[in-house]
Chains A and B, each alone.
Chain A
């Protein structure tokens, strides 16, 4: 099992460019999440998908969109990148929204917006 995979690992964008971060899990999990981690800020939830076909905003959704393509895949799109979106992005998945279902994280995508 690969667990949670993310592509790309690194990306540099110019202000105004768009891109999609890809995430896939092979654990047959129902719930998936996108977080960003900034220096000294911990992880903050951007969007989540409790189950296939549903998505909801997290703590910091502005400037992002998501697509739950199927049960395995959950993508994060930046339509017009801004320097404030420079961050490390983590995708995670869990069996479902119930107690005891820990979240498993991918290795992260380091994004720099110039």
Chain B
């Protein structure tokens, strides 16, 4: 039973436009959510996180939105750049801790020049 779902395996956008990556979760105990970015042959790198007490968190070009009632979060990248092309993983944890992360399967973002 997949508790964190990223239903779009891939997404392609034009440079300068907005990229929106979506993530749904089923476990209502999850209270901390993270996005990681992964380039080929490298380990994932942390991008941005959000606690369940918030509904939005911004860091430069990256914004994460959380809709608790819908059990849905999204990552917005504005403007998208070719260097943003990577696999993006959504992850979640419970109990106010950041360990025992549950990851989604990832979405491959391609930003075309």
Query: Which A residues contact B (CB, under 8 angstroms)?
Result: 4, 31, 33, 35, 40-45, 48, 50, 58-59, 90, 92, 94, 97-108
Contacts and interface: CB of A to CB of B under 8 A. Distances in A.
A99 B51 contact: yes
A58 B98 contact: no
B32 interface: yes
Is the contact region of chain B dominated by helix, strand, or loop, or is it mixed?
Answer: loop
Contact of A33 (B46, B97, B99): B99
Interface in B64-113: 89, 91, 96-106
Contacts of A40: 9, 105
B12 interface: no
A38 to B, nearest CB: 10
A13 to B, nearest CB: 20
Contact of A107 (B6, B36, B42): B42
Contacts of A98: 96-98
Contacts of A50: 99
A48 B97 contact: no
Interface of B: 4, 6, 9, 32, 34, 36, 41-46, 49, 51, 89, 91, 96-106
Nearest to A39: B105
A107 B43 contact: yes
A48 to B, nearest CB: 6
Contacts of B36: 105
B89 A42 contact: yes
B41 A103 contact: no
B98 A42 contact: no
A43 B46 contact: no
A28 B88 CA distance: 27
A48 B101 CA distance: 10
A99 B43 contact: no
A97 B98 contact: yes
Nearest to B42: A107
A97 B32 CA distance: 12
- Sorted from nearest, which 8 A-B pairs have the closest CB atoms? A105-B43, A102-B46, A42-B103, A42-B105, A97-B97, A43-B103, A97-B99, A105-B44
